[in-house]
Structure 1
Amino acid sequence: MIHIGLAAVLLVTPPVDQAAVREAALSSGFQEAYVGAAGPIARAIHAAYDIPASVTVAQSILESNWGRSKLSANERNYFGFKCVTPTSPGPIALRCARYPSTECVPAPCHPVDAYFRSYASIEDSFRDYGRLLTTSANYAAALPVRSDPDAFIRAVARKYATDPEYANKVIRLMNLYDLRRFDA
């Protein structure tokens, strides 16, 4: 399998206008506008990391509320990635930003302040998603089934989310918005 470097892929993909993504998220018809902006980036991530673009778009929708969440609007974090420590954003993010959150491990669920990754661009957020899913041992079980988007997200969801319906929610988004078209 040949992986094209993401930098090379993003050079041939026109840069995304951050203001346009934000505007699309606030306008009527924002769903299709968001999918139209996220789809080409997800294809670039697929070319670089060989993960289903349909899953990438659907997870970004679910995690960022169509790019309308405070985390995506302010920090360009479209996948809800937290920092490793309050001062360690990882190799792609610029910094860590503090936001209120809810943690359910250990139970019961309780409010906390958490540190989330802040990115320079939507492309960097998506690139970190591709990097994390293909390098973390948490998602190693998903890699052998990456040619099947449904099986892939079911394997990813086991470690990605505590919501037992998470994979089903992602699959519903893939079906409702015909996101598998980005896998072709």
Structure 2
Amino acid sequence: MRSAIIRILLLLPAVLLLSAGAPYSNARPWKVTAYIQSHLYLAKELHLETGIPVPFILAVAGLESDWGRSELARHANNHFGLKVKPEWRGLQYCKQTQEFSGLDAYQETACFRKYPLIRRSYQDFGRFITARKNYQATQGLSVWDYQGWAEAIQQGGYATDPEYAQKLRGIIWRYQLSEFQLTD
């Protein structure tokens, strides 16, 4: 009897620890949860201004900025990996980056847009996606068609990674980002 009580007392902390976890503790690492808590309002604002789905915005920002921890996010407030284009008149931040030619990855130096505030990065992403002709395929897509959004920007040339759309869909699904979509 005494040994049974001792076993129960030894197992009790483990059982309590396992049962007390948050429902998304395994689904979302702390860096993802922290990023969402800090930036969800920006994604919602951008959605209301542009119609771009909140989960899609969060997935692109998370992938491109490593959930706010990348060099580009920390030093240039660029959470979407937007590069300098000929029309860009703002600041820039140049660094080594991985690109793809087909399935072959290589390193090159590229210059990216630099922003004084993270909010400007979100706003610029919205303008970039809604105003450029190569992303017209996003127009008319449902806010729930994350696969369509991911395929449209990949086909429009947003990233050279041939698995970019698949990565975005995986992030939305794995981290249950669809729960943040506003129902306009």
Tell me if both proteins adopt one fold, taking TM over 0.5 as the criterion: yes
Q: 2:149 aligns with which of 147, 152, 163?
A: 152
CA displacement 1:106-157 (0-9 Å, x = unmatched): 9965433211110011111011000000000110012121432221112112
* TM-score (normalizing by structure 1): 0.75
Q: Does 1:112 align with 2:108?
A: yes
Aligned to 2:42: 41
* TM-score (normalizing by structure 2): 0.75
Larger-gyration structure (1/2): 2
* 3-state SS in 2 of match to 1:160: coil
**Corresponding pairs, count:** 152
Change (3 A) 1:182 1:114: same
**How far is 1:103 from its partner?**
3.8
**1: distance between equivalents of 2:43 and 2:132?**
19
Q: Does 1:162 align with 2:160?
A: yes
Aligned to 2:82: 81
Aligned to 1:142: 138
- After superposition, residues 10-25 of structure 1 pair within 5 angstroms as none
Q: Which runs of 5+ in 1 are unaligned?
A: 1-27
Letter of the structure 2 residue corresponding to residue 122 of structure 1: I
Aligned to 2:94: 98
The answer as to whether partners of 1:71 and 1:80 remain within 8 angstroms in 2 is yes
Runs ≥4 residues deviating over 6 A = none
Over the matched positions of the two proteins, sequence identity in percent amounts to 31
Q: Does 1:128 align with 2:129?
A: no
CA displacement 1:141-175 (0-9 Å, x = unmatched): 12121432221112112121222221111111111
